[in-house]
Amino acid sequence: QVQLVESGGGLVQPGGSLRLSCAASGRIFSINAMGWYQQPPGKQRELVARITSGGSTEYADSVKGRFTISRDNAKNTVYLQMNSLKPEDTAVYYCKAAVETSSLAYARDYWGQGTQVTVSS
């Protein structure tokens, strides 16, 4: 019913920048919070940044001041601008969206397929 497609990952040197995008499509009535999560190799998936439909944001301590989350509600898209990247930022990055598929439905979480970010010299 709802698909999330991420893009923008890749290989970057320490200190470099990347911009991730995640576009939602399908049966969408409205989208509440959207967020980005990272899953380093052998570790659990953790929240990186989150943004509400009204634009309020929250960040993991490890990325504050370096990453910026934003969204374009007209395009059902969330972005993650990642600056001053460090090797420890290496992970698969997933987006998540809380989507209402009708005016009568509760919001349900949907996940993207993930995009690899590798920070290495």
Counting DSSP H helices and E strands in the chain, the numbers are 0, 11
Q: What is the mean pLDDT of residues 100-118?
A: 94
Q: In the predicted model, what is the mean pLDDT of the chain?
A: 96
pLDDT class for 103, splitting at 50, 70, 90? confident
Rounded to whole angstroms, the Cα distance separating 98 from 43 reads 24
The tens digit of pLDDT for each residue in 10-55 reads 999 999 999 999 999 999 999 999 999 999 999 999 999 999 999 9
> ∠88-93-99 over CA atoms, to 5°?
145
- pLDDT of 115 > 90? The answer is yes
Distance, first Cα to last Cα, the chain: 40
